[in-house]
A and B are shown apart, each in its own frame.
Chain A
Amino acid sequence: MKARNIGRFASHALAGLALALSASAGVAKPKQDDPGFQLKDNPYPSTYKPYPGEAVAIVGATVYDGAGGRIDNGTVLLSGSKVEAIGGPDLAIPQDHRRIDGTGKFVTPGVIDIHSHLGVYPSPGVQAHSDGNEATSPTTPEVWAEHSVWPQDPGFTRALANGGVTSLQILPGSANLMGGRSVVLKNVPSRTVQGMKFPDAPYGLKMACGENPKRVYGEKGQMPSTRMGNFAVDRQTWIKASEYKKKRDAGKLDSRDLAMETLADVLAGKILVQNHCYRADEMAQVIDMSKEFGYKVSAFHHAVEAYKIADLLKENGICSAIWADWWGFKMEAYDGIPENAALLADHGACVIIHSDDEYGIQRLNQEAAKAQGDGKRIGINIPDAQVISWFTLNPAKALGIDGKTGSLAPGKAGDVVLWNGNPLSVYSRPEKVWVDGAMLFDAMDRTRRPVSDFELGQPGEGDVK
């Protein structure tokens, strides 16, 4: 990717593709002579607690529940950090609930981005902030994205205010075949990463196929330098992981290995594979590799050619996390088409609209609406309520957090966006955003507009963005 910086082109824009590389030192591995070390499943546990929220009743809005349902003149009750109930105008509203008039407005679940590099490639995109690719070895399952996330990235606040994003997965970049563990965050400003971590969300493993790994390592004169090299390194690593897991299961490990721990947990089904892959033929090969070693791909990310194998993806229960219509910026994106989402949906395959971009994350609703329109023009009519699931319940499912968020069901998290118009219209914006029942953004109230530490005392601090 040639560098330019007109308009929004920060030097780190498209970081997942551009691969700003640094020759930083490798990650320290646990000492091999320390067999007694006991790894915990989650040694950096979430400290996030929902902020206080008042009991509210949003009345008179069009409600999309994220699971394909739509209620006109709907009522949404939030209390105690949860969705309490949703229903029509006849839903009883308890006395203690403050009423919010939603007439002419729309309610959806909080938006979820399954593919973000906020925090690991934060703004400003200076080299000192380039923490998304541990591009010193083609497989680095031992690195954890949460150890790179900078919670003061102003991008989090924009995603909340302009995009209504309440949960997001932060992934390592795609320089490596196995880039490391992802972390799922609540989009809540915090002093610490632990203060943002989505409690009990499964970890993900970022994998990548195609151009990036083979280019990054081929240029260093090492394996992989080809697509076949990509697969060879992956398979060799999975063989090692399988053997490690067998020993671990039998209690016969002499020492713990961070990289192998992550992969063994993938094989055990505890960590979900989030696989960057563009081309249809490569996705089909990855599916076979996953069967060869007994793991499951949760979602193919970018997947610009998913439409060519919609049947295969459906059959294997794999979601496609895609842009609406990014196209042609690299060779493996040359066959991207704007009808990708619609064709997948038409064949019953799972669609997720993702961003991979600090600007795209502010407009996932708009991207979904464009993809819907592109479908309509070829005769594929997808109901609005289903399109909403592309950036709510479907990413929640592929992240393994759909039991907690992603739709407006009683008992689920009070992650809610009140839009000032139809979220599938370009003219609409989030008016209010609740995370776990706490109103963390209100376009009508400057005191509910987050400002990151980085922006304090600088031009534009606290401005409407």
Chain B
Amino acid sequence: MKPRTLISSLAALLAASASIPVLAQQAQDFAITNATVAIGDGSAPIQGGTVVVRGGKIVAAGAGVAVPAGIQVIDGTGKWVTPGLVSAVTDLGLVDVGAVDESNDEYAPKAGFNAALDVSAAIDPDATPIGISRAGGVTRAAVAPVAANAIFAGQGAIIDLGADANPVNRPRAFQFVELGERGADLAGGSRVAAQTVLRNALREAADFDRRAGISKIGGAKASPTSTGDDIPLDPRMAQTVQGRADDGLLTRFDAAALVPVVSGRQPLYVHVERAADIRQVLRLKSEFPAIKLVIVGAAEGWRVARDIAAAGVPVLASAITDLPGRFETLAATQSNVGRMQAAGVKVGLGGFYDNDQPRYAPQYAGNLVAVGRLPGASGLTWGQALAAITSVPADIIGEGSRFGSLKPGLAGDVVIWDGDPLELSSGPVDIYIDGVKQSMVNHQTRLRDRYRNPQEGSLPKAYQ
């Protein structure tokens, strides 16, 4: 039985809708000079540095960089320059107001699907949180759905926060699954159930793939991300009459959506917190060798840090979790990130929802520098802390060759700050995405300006 291929029109449709941001004409060529430049790769900031951006890409950054003739020069005296912040695992673009259900697309408790859900269709570049996060220096994000009716939340997307009509850089970039306390609840009431649901789902997907050959469809295109022609094909749309076992529990769409996970083409982001759950997740690799894991949460990661490092599984962790808010976070400590990093785990900051806003990332990173200065605690160096909110999460979400630092060839995502970007008193003064200067105006700045003086003038506030 030969698998059918994707219908060609579908491929054409996908190519047409591939929403890698077209480098807009407004992309500026510019050099920022005499600034404190932080590359974002873990290195220490460079005094008197220069950053050159041309054609929407970083050309050079550091000390002793020549400014090309005729290029626009921005005086960076007294300023700091960093790559744009990368917010890994957030709901940016899915929500206007979290508690206003009709404005909130992160979560679908009554949906008939779970793993098949694909957030890329719902990203709204005009959502106010995008503008506010952008003004805080956030330029890219990994947007994840929130699990609501099953352990699988669905497929997340990589986006940029540019003020344009094309936010999605990469749809279906990862699948998200809950395997801790929340997963237990979603699976029917226990971790036992969650582990069973997971295995059944992955085996149904593998079985579907074996019968229908879904993972072979478009296989030639599964090259590393680089140019925009690598948008993953949507396995849900595979045209096949082959395939499902009669006793399958998953919908056809959900099973198809998990084929890239089980075949290792799409990473599986697993939210777990406690040490025992992390160990269980790491064991999945022996059962499903192709699977590519990213652990999200890992409040007790420090207790199994060597195992995580040995498995080569990256972690997106909270910087500040230090309370036993649940039984699965008993050993939470602000030293978690530092200890995991010291053990060789690739760890970035992640999990930005509600009042852990994406624009708080620098504060959280700064706290990891602070905690490292306390006796008995582990933190990060300044360079590592910045990397934990830029290049490391970019790398973990599979985009490290595209953005996340000021290395030559990467996207011209640049933030100019009025001081040390991790410091509380500092804020962005200019933001570029793909070399395009971004507006800093949003709902908040308009309110701020209107109410600089609270009293009405000759006309009501509504006319100001």
Contacts and interface: CB of A to CB of B under 8 A. Distances in A.
Contact of A330 (B97, B369, B418): B97
Interface stretch (B43-51, B162-170, B420-428): B420-428
Interface in A229-283: none
B354 interface: yes
A234 to B, nearest CB: 23
Chain A at the B interface: mostly helix, strand, loop or mixed?
loop
Contact of A443 (B99, B374, B423): B374
Contacts of A2: 98-99, 101, 104, 106-107, 146
Interface in B409-442: 418, 422-427
Contacts of B331: 458-460, 463
Given A13-B325, A328-B128, A337-B444, A308 B454 contact: yes
A174 interface: no
Nearest to A455: B324
Interface in A352-380: 357-359, 362-363, 366, 369-370, 372-374, 376-378
Task: From A14, A337, A339, name the one whose CB has the most chain B CB atoms within 10 angstroms.
Answer: A337
Contacts of A326: 355
Nearest to B418: A377
Nearest to B327: A124
Contacts of A162: 322, 334
Contact of B99 (A312, A331, A378): A331
Contacts, number: 217
Task: From B97, B375, B454, name the one whose CB has the most chain A CB atoms within 10 angstroms.
Answer: B454
B323 A158 contact: yes
Contacts of A124: 324-327
Contact of B323 (A308, A359, A428): A359
- How many chain B residues sit at the interface, stated as a range, is 35 or more
Contacts of B423: 425-427
A434 B88 CA distance: 39
A460 B128 contact: no
Nearest to B455: A311
A397 to B, nearest CB: 22
Contact of A123 (B89, B107, B325): B325
A53 B355 CA distance: 39
Contacts of A330: 97-100
A420 interface: yes
B320 A429 contact: no
Contact of B376 (A312, A424, A446): A446
Contacts of B334: 162, 464-465
A323 to B, nearest CB: 8
B240 interface: no
Nearest to A446: B376
Given A309-B454, A328-B98, A429-B373, A8 B320 contact: yes
Given A311-B455, A343-B451, A425 B424 contact: yes
A1 interface: yes
A71 B410 CA distance: 48
B451 A123 contact: no
B363 A429 contact: no
A364 B308 CA distance: 34
B373 to A, nearest CB: 7
B330 interface: yes
B275 A459 contact: yes
B303 interface: yes
A218 B438 CA distance: 43
A212 to B, nearest CB: 10
B333 interface: yes
B369 A426 contact: yes
B325 A125 contact: yes
B97 A6 contact: no
B296 A6 contact: yes
A429 B370 contact: yes
Contacts of A376: 425
Contacts of B320: 8, 359, 362
Given A370-B424, A377-B418, A426-B363, A331 B444 contact: no
A427 B99 contact: no
Nearest to A444: B375
Contacts of A425: 423-424
Contact of B424 (A123, A333, A424, A464): A424
A372 B355 contact: no
A10 B326 contact: yes
B356 A7 contact: yes
B452 interface: yes
B97 A343 contact: no
B355 A310 contact: no
A343 B374 contact: no
Nearest to A460: B331
A37 interface: no
Given A446-B376, A464-B376, 15 more contacts: A1-B354, A2-B146, A6-B271, A8-B323, A158-B322, A312-B454, A326-B355, A330-B98, A336-B444, A338-B444, A362-B322, A363-B367, A372-B425, A420-B373, A459-B300
Please give me the 3 A-B residue pairs with the lowest Cβ-Cβ distance, nearest first.
A10-B325, A460-B331, A7-B318
12 contacts: A6-B350, A8-B321, A12-B325, A343-B452, A357-B355, A366-B367, A370-B425, A372-B425, A378-B448, A425-B424, A464-B334, A465-B333
